[in-house]
Amino acid sequence: MTRTAERFVEEFYNSFTSEMLAADEPAEVVDRYYAADVLQVADGIEIDRDKLIAHLRPVRKNLVSWRYEVHEALLEKEKLAARFTIHAQLRRGRMISTEVYLFGELTSDGRLRRSTQVTRDVTVPATETAG
């Protein structure tokens, strides 16, 4: 059975997040999911491998639970386009939701090499969820 593009995105990020949180050494997990020359541009900010690993330190400390809601995705050979929402609960109870528009390039073995992402906060304020 062939994996859909939506399923690929969901499995990629869920597996990465699970392994990254459980790992003694997150750099090893990064290397399994991202090319050595990875370059992500997220909201105009360039993130290479070292910056990605540094970004994971607070995530590892504060992330309690997460869910990736993949709305749509296209995967053609090594090109990927996806729109998904990350729902995350942080250590102190705060819930955040971030919608992500991603255009990327994969290596032949399925690791992420390049991506351009635009994000927006779609967190529902606590006053709207209470009562």
**pLDDT-above-90 percentage for the chain:** 92
DSSP per-residue codes, the chain = -PPPHHHHHHHHHHHHHHHHHH-S-HHHHHHHHEEEEEEEEETTEEEEHHHHHHHHHHHHHHEEEEEEEEEEEEEETTEEEEEEEEEEEETTS-EEEEEEEEEEEE-TTS-EEEEEEEEEE-PPPHHHH--
Q: What are the tens digits of pLDDT across the range 2-54?
A: 569 999 999 999 999 999 999 999 999 999 999 999 999 999 999 999 999 99
Q: What are 60's two structure tokens?
A: 């590892």
CB 99, CB 119: distance < 8 Å? yes
Distance CA 29, CA 65 (A): 18
Phi, psi values for residue 29, rounded to 5°: -70, -45
Taken in order of first residue, the domains within the chain and their CATH numbers are 5-129 (3.10.450.50)
Q: Is the pLDDT of residue 127 over 90?
A: no
* The overall pTM is greater than 0.85: yes
Distance CA 69, CA 85 (A): 5
